[in-house]
Amino acid sequence: QVQLQQSGAELVRPGVSVKISCKGSGYTFTDYAMHWVKQSHAKSLEWIGVISTYYGDASYNQKFKGKATMTVDKSSSTAYMELARLTSEDSAIYYCASLAGTGYAMDYWGQGTSVTVSS
Amino acid sequence: DIQMNQSPSSLSASLGDTITITCHASQNINVWLSWYQQKPGNIPKLLIYKASNLHTGVPSRFSGSGSGTGFTLTISSLQPEDIATYYCQQGQSYPWTFGGGTKLEIK
């Protein structure tokens, strides 16, 4: 079955960077792009961007340009997202999501990675 | 960016009721509209894609309709397990955007 396994929770100091991983299994990883979504505490969902798992090119929400950098490692079926120069505004749960089922919507989600920025 | 205006932001209904959540897009998104359910402490779960297509395993009491700029999610015969927050999301163009969510509670 399709699974997206994300890396564990992070507690980081302001100003540093953090890199989250998302490993896909149960499907051909390079057949579907990987999306990333942010959910701040008790808030709605924000689409960060999408990366082609085959070509490695990415499209970003303008709001997250310079903040998020998405990469992929096809050999390990893993997508990564690095968040730079962290502030308290970046404290949130970050999800990876794939369209591996329907091909039209985010039907498979990782379990989420909590990032807490605190001094 | 395409704005997604979702209403109501919260809703209280009784078991067995039929409820409707609406989502209005700021421009034409054809049928590129999905609905997600997120229960407290859980990840979002896809319910409806392409405006009216029920995702695999989703109970038939959930239904979606609409096209262009106006969309609805209907839940008939409300069940206790339907307590959740529901989000619409447009997939017409990047950046994909979500509605603000509708928190559903049982009276």
Our measurement of the distance from residue B35's CA atom to the centroid of its chain's CA atoms, rounded to an integer in Å, reads 4
Cβ separation of A63 and B95 shorter than 8 Å? yes
Per-residue model confidence (pLDDT) at position A41: 82
Degrees, nearest 5: CA angle B32-B36-B37: 165
Length of chain B: 107
Report the C-alpha gap between A41 and A115 in whole angstroms. 11
What does the pLDDT average to over A13-21? 98
What does the pLDDT average to over A14-39? 97
Bridge partner list, B85: B38, B103
Residue B8 in this model has a pLDDT that exceeds 70: yes
pLDDT (tens digit per residue) in B12-56:
999 999 999 999 999 999 999 999 999 999 999 999 999 999 999
Neighbour tally for B107: CB within 10 Å: 8
For residues A5, A92, B3, B56, the Cα torsion angle rounded to the nearest 10 degrees is 30
Task: Please give the single-letter amino acid code of residue A116.
Answer: T
Residues A41-69, buried b or exposed e (16+ Cβ, 10 A)? eeebbbbbbbbebeeeebebbeebeebbb
What does the pLDDT average to over A8-23? 98
Per-residue model confidence (pLDDT) at position A42: 66
pLDDT (tens digit per residue) in A36-50:
999 998 678 999 999
Q: Is A40 in the B-facing interface, judged by CB distances under 8 Å?
A: no
The alpha carbon dihedral of A105, A110, A111, A112 has a sign of negative
Smallest Cβ–Cβ distance between A104 and the set B1, B91, B94 belongs to B91
Cβ separation of B44 and A45 shorter than 8 Å? yes
pLDDT (tens digit per residue) in A91-118:
999 999 999 888 889 999 999 999 999 9
Confidence grade of residue A33 (pLDDT, cut at 50, 70, 90): very high
Is there a contact between B48 and B34 (Cβ–Cβ < 8 Å)?
A: yes
What does the pLDDT average to over B75-85? 96
| Range list of β-strands (E), B50-90 | 53-54, 62-67, 70-75, 84-90
pLDDT (tens digit per residue) in B54-70:
999 999 999 999 999 99
